[in-house]
Amino acid sequence: MSEQEELMSRVPLAELRKSIREGRFQDQTGSLAPGKLQGNVVILPADQALHFSAYCQRNPRPCPLVGMSDVGDPRLPQLGDIDIRTDVPRYNIYEHGELKAQVSDLSEIWRKDFVTFVLGCSFSLEKALVDAGIPLRHLKMKAMPAVFVTDIETIPAGPFGGSMVVSMRPLTVVDAIKAIEISAQFPHAHGSPVHFGDPGAIGIADLQKPDWGPPTPVLPGEVPLFWACGVTPQVAIRKARPPICITHAPGSMLITDIDA
């Protein structure tokens, strides 16, 4: 962590929420509010939302649903004092699957048929692994983990479907066993890995050429472990091409009031 990140991580949640709500903070949230659950955000009109809720139910590893709003209601009382129109640092607005705009406030474009979905992300999992003494190389590189499209098909629901996206973390065999054991206890943060070992077995041609993020080196004696990744629903949304869909901007997650 840089000195600035270290300082930011000590800002109390209420203050942080206020500066996000007022549009003063529009940055990445990874190191903020340690111990609080952060989530991927997907906002869809009600006519798409039923399909998307089925998509999450059928694919809990890539899409662990931790919260779902009422139709048209911007609040998420189960996740805290949240107004989803203002409480994410930055939003991506997609029309027919294409990124049209990036904004920091949805108040002007909020609709009475919008439904918000919050999906768990891997931050809580990574914290638990680090706390257990398992070294994560991408964190030492101050980078996101290497992320790959696989040939594992998700179970479709209505227009949503497509390939599972995974993040890769290389570990020694002893740490891999520990990491599987620990991550199984975090079903809301993608749970246990979907694969380890041979990347080709899940359709990954070259570990040095991730689809997102820089490559993470795999050292001799290490095994690559592959966890389902929150990019999966974004790929599903691009494929479904709904007239409108709003998500958090990459890395700028919703910080909730609940413990991770």
Question: Which positions lie near its own copies, rule CB under 8 A?
Answer: 46, 49-51, 53-54, 57-58, 65, 67-71, 78, 115, 155, 157-158, 187
Q: How many CA atoms lie within 13 A of 221 on its CB side?
A: 3
CB nearer to its own copies: give 115 or 240.
115
Shortest Cβ distance from residue 65 to its own copies (Å)? 6
Strands 245-248 and 91-95: antiparallel
Phi, psi of 88 (to 5 degrees): -110, 135
Shortest Cβ distance from residue 50 to its own copies (Å)? 5
Return the structure tokens found at 8: 């930011």
Tell me the sheet residues that pair with 45: 114
* CA 223/CA 47 separation, integer angstroms: 43
Shortest Cβ distance from residue 69 to its own copies (Å)? 8
CB nearer to its own copies: give 75 or 137.
75
Return the structure tokens found at 220: 């001799």
Shortest Cβ distance from residue 72 to its own copies (Å)? 11
Shortest Cβ distance from residue 79 to its own copies (Å)? 11
* CA 127/CA 222 separation, integer angstroms: 20
CB nearer to its own copies: give 55 or 226.
55
Q: Measured over all CA atoms, what is the biggest interatomic distance in the chain, rounded to whole angstroms?
A: 55
CB nearer to its own copies: give 60 or 250.
60
Return the structure tokens found at 165: 């996206």
Instruction: Please name which of 59, 45, 34 lies closest in space to residue 126, comparing C-alpha atoms.
Output: 34
Instruction: Report whether 255 contacts 38 (CB < 8 A).
Output: yes
Shortest Cβ distance from residue 60 to its own copies (Å)? 10
CB nearer to its own copies: give 46 or 177.
46
CB nearer to its own copies: give 189 or 204.
189
Please give the DSSP secondary-structure letter assigned to residue 157: B
